[in-house]
């Protein structure tokens, strides 16, 4: 079954309104919504903010039978060409806030885990096709850097760009990726740029959320039609 995790309330509400034969599963720490979206059986949920919530939500989805996972939400643009509204489809994901360098590990590497988690090629391709139907935005494939931090400074952007080659910064994707990879379940992360992670990020983030939530809905429905 296909699982869709949305980061935003606004985005989940737009998709929930269209969910047919809806059944709510109240589980410890999360509610999953099972139903049919455009004829496809899905599990839909709001993931909450941060890597812990993302890992917990993903684990619940896998236990309930998810065999593919799509995560959509917003991100701070790190790649210099990204503008607010643009869409990033993940090539791979890193945890930029992990630092076990004192024990000789590269920055971002969790001991015993790969340095990055690769998104599924087929889901990536379908996501890119669906994202290209959103008018007036650039669709970029790139690395998504996740950490339990809202990045809002030029120094923060420079660190993610120089140390990780990240296209964008967010707070959940790599946790979803790590859990899915352990279970051998394909995943992709799709992020709309709500800000450019610099000093104006808090203001931009709030202002652009509603528009970006509509983009996310369009991308998810475009993917459903192509899967
Ligand atoms: N999500 C949206 N914008 C972000 C930022 N600047 N940093 C981290 N997560 C974000």
pLDDT for 211: 79
Model confidence at 124: pLDDT above 90: yes
Residue closest via CA to ligand 1's atom 4 equals 76
ipTM of the complex: 0.99
Q: Measured in angstroms, how far is the CA atom of residue 217 from the centroid of ligand 1? A: 19
Q: Residues 6 or more apart from 167 whose CB is under 8 A from it?
A: 77, 78, 79, 82, 88, 140, 141, 142, 143, 144
Radius of gyration of the chain (CA): 16
Spatial separation of the C-alpha atoms in residues 92 and 174, rounded to whole Å: 8
Task: Check residue 206 and give its pLDDT.
Answer: 85
Residue 11 annotated to the active site: yes
Tell me how far apart the alpha carbons of residues 46 and 141 are, in angstroms, rounded to a whole number: 24
Query: Rounded to the nearest whole angstrom, what is the distance from the C-alpha of residue 73 to the centroid of ligand 1?
Result: 10
Task: Return the domain boundaries, the chain.
Answer: 2-226
Would you call 122 a catalytic residue per the annotation?
Answer: no
Q: Which atom of ligand 1 sits closest to the CA of residue 149?
A: 8
Active-site residue identified among 11, 86, 170, 172: 11
Q: Which of 120, 172, 195, 204 is an active site residue? A: 195
Record the pTM: 0.96
Angle, CA 131 vertex, CA 219 and CA 58 arms, to 5°: 50
Mutating to test ligand 1, I would choose from 155, 157, 171 the residue with most ligand atoms within 8 A of its C-beta, which is 171
Which atom in ligand 1 lies closest to the alpha carbon of residue 201? 6
pLDDT at 90 (0 to 100): 98
Q: Could you say which architecture CATH assigns to the domain 2-226?
A: 3-Layer(aba) Sandwich (3.40)
Asked if the model's pLDDT at residue 147 lies above 80, the reply is yes
Residue 170 has pLDDT above 90, yes or no: yes
Q: Which residues line ligand 1 (CB under 6 A)?
A: 74-76, 150-152, 169-171, 194-195, 197, 201, 205
Ligand 1 probe mutation, 47, 71, 94, 195, most atoms within 8 A of CB: 195
pLDDT of residue 208 exceeding 90, the answer is no
9: confidence class by pLDDT, cuts 50, 70, 90: confident
% of the chain beyond a pLDDT of 70: 100
Q: How far is the CA of 114 from the centre of ligand 1 (A)?
A: 24
3-class SS of residue 220: helix
């Amino acid at each position: 079954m296909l699982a869709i995790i949305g980061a935003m309330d606004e985005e989940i509400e737009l998709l929930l309104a269209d969910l047919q034969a809806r059944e709510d599963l109240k589980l410890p720490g999360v509610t999953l919504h099972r139903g049919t979206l455009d004829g496809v059986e899905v599990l839909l949920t709001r993931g909450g903010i941060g890597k812990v919530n993302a890992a917990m939500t993903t684990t619940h989805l896998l236990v309930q039978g998810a065999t593919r996972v799509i995560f959509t939400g917003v991100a701070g643009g790190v790649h210099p060409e990204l503008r607010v509204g643009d869409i990033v489809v993940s090539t791979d994901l890193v945890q930029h806030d992990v630092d076990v360098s004192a024990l000789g590990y590269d920055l971002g590497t969790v001991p015993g885990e790969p340095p990055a988690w690769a998104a599924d090629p087929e889901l990536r391709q379908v996501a890119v096709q669906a994202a290209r139907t959103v008018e007036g935005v650039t669709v970029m494939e790139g690395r998504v850097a996740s950490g339990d931090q809202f990045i809002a400074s030029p120094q923060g952007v420079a660190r993610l760009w120089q140390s990780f080659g990240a296209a964008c910064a967010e707070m959940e994707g790599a946790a979803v990726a790590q859990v899915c990879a352990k279970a051998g379940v394909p995943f992709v992360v799709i992020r709309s740029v709500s800000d450019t992670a610099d000093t104006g990020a808090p203001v931009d983030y709030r202002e652009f959320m509603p528009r970006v939530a509509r983009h996310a809905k369009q991308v998810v429905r475009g993917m459903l039609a192509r899967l």
